[in-house]
Amino acid sequence: MRERLSGNEAAAIAMKQINPDVVAAFPITPSTEIPQYFSTFVSNGTVDTEFVAVESEHSAMSACIGAQAAGGRAMTATSANGLSLMWEMIYIASSLRLPIVMSLVNRAVSGPLNIHNDHSDAMGVRDSGWIQLFSENNQEAYDNLVMAHRIAEHKDVLLPLMVCQDGFITSHSIENIELIEDEKVKEFVGTYKPEHYLLNDKEPIAVGPLDLQAYLFEHKTQQAIAMRNAKKVILDVASDFEKMTGRKYSFFEEYKMEDAEVVIVCMNSTAGTAKYTADKLREQGIKAGVLKVRVYRPFPAEEIAKALSKAKAIAVLDKADSLNAVGGALFEDVVSGMFVSKVQIPTVNYVYGIGGRDTTSKDIESVYNDLTEIVKTGEMGNPYRYLGVRGCK
């Protein structure tokens, strides 16, 4: 079914087709429309979901934790400061191994107050034990949500999962997308059948007990193992999804990477601009390529290093600054993976787009030009750079 939908509408329709047991949410720009659209499906009887309108985002995640622990399938949506208010519960959800699915519409975290897109919210919880999928466009936001429960609820994973998309850039922009028939989604996602849950009267359990020196280390290690297990599950689910839809997904997308000499690594909607720019430079004889990261947690370090191994110069674009004086989070993960895999290629970082600052094809072209110069001279210079900011390079 072909439809014209915004990214938020696409997310809400995916949730409708999944028909979770509980959705708990509190409004925050730019994700507000997702629970707003979904609430209309509840009120008109399209879904039989219990919709919980809570008093804060902390309460929204708390309600999802309670519902999932009780044996239900729970979903929510938020952005930026809302995610920050969930902070405590984000870690509790993952430590309790509850496969909650959240639509995270990326927005700058205060302060100062800004309601526009960057990735500071997702990067702030990148190490909280949640699987993170990123979406270039509305189609990918929808597809990722359809795949999310199959990944999160797998017996070898049992971790919460967030599907990220760029606030306003995709969340409010209308695009043509292909929807899957309701019955096919229902069959693909399946019924949630947890092995252990609070409302199982045949197996009384405690959830969230005190966990001190004797066991906490082992339990955190189990989370780490589950995150590693998620890599195979993500690929298996993507393979089944491709059989159903013809749309192929992996850890990342390689765009014109076969013979690429200068490569940009990026996430979410920036990939579209980078692909356009790469096409333009190809016409000029410049061998430009793009590696778009889709799966950020678990991070496919070895696979990314292999995909980049034939490049001559690489730029990693971070839409959030780690404020650590040595580059953004994606850059750190990429160069760490390259180092471990013994892939030694000049790699620079550009922090860009903070607070929704426009990043044009001209900006992206300037990055490719810098990479071409590195290839030509062999001189990398300062690897920690800023793109499109006044008074700083």
pLDDT digits (tens, 9 = 90+) for 172-183: 999 999 999 999
* 49, 19 Cβ separation under 8 angstroms: yes
Quick: pLDDT tens for 67-125: 999 999 999 999 999 999 999 999 999 999 999 999 999 999 999 999 999 999 999 99
**Predicted pLDDT of residue 8:** 98
**193 in Cβ contact with 162 (< 8 Å):** no
Percent of the chain beyond pLDDT 70?
99
Task: Say which residue, 161 or 1, is predicted with more confidence.
Answer: 161
The contacts of residue 7 (CB under 8 Å, 6+ apart) are 105, 135, 137, 138, 141, 165, 166, 170, 171, 172, 173, 175
Residues written for the chain: 393
**What residues are paired with 75 via a beta bridge?**
23, 101
The whole-model pTM stands at: 0.98
**Rounded-to-integer distance, Cα 269 and Cα 229, Å:** 28
Q: Which amino acid is at 309?
A: S
Distance CA 252, CA 309 (A): 15
Domains of the chain and any CATH numbers: 2-245 (3.40.50.970), 252-387 (3.40.50.920)
Provide the terminal-to-terminal Cα distance of the chain, rounded to the nearest Å.
Answer: 46
Average pLDDT, integer, range 357-371: 98
Residue 216 contacts residue 208 (beta carbons within 8 Å): no
Task: List pLDDT tens digits, range 22-54.
Answer: 999 999 999 999 999 999 999 999 999 999 999
What does the pLDDT read at residue 4?
97
Stated as kind and residue range, the H or E segment containing 87 is helix 87-95
How many H helices and E strands in the chain? 13, 15
Across 348-375, average pLDDT:
98
Q: Which two tokens stand for residue 346?
A: 């000049």
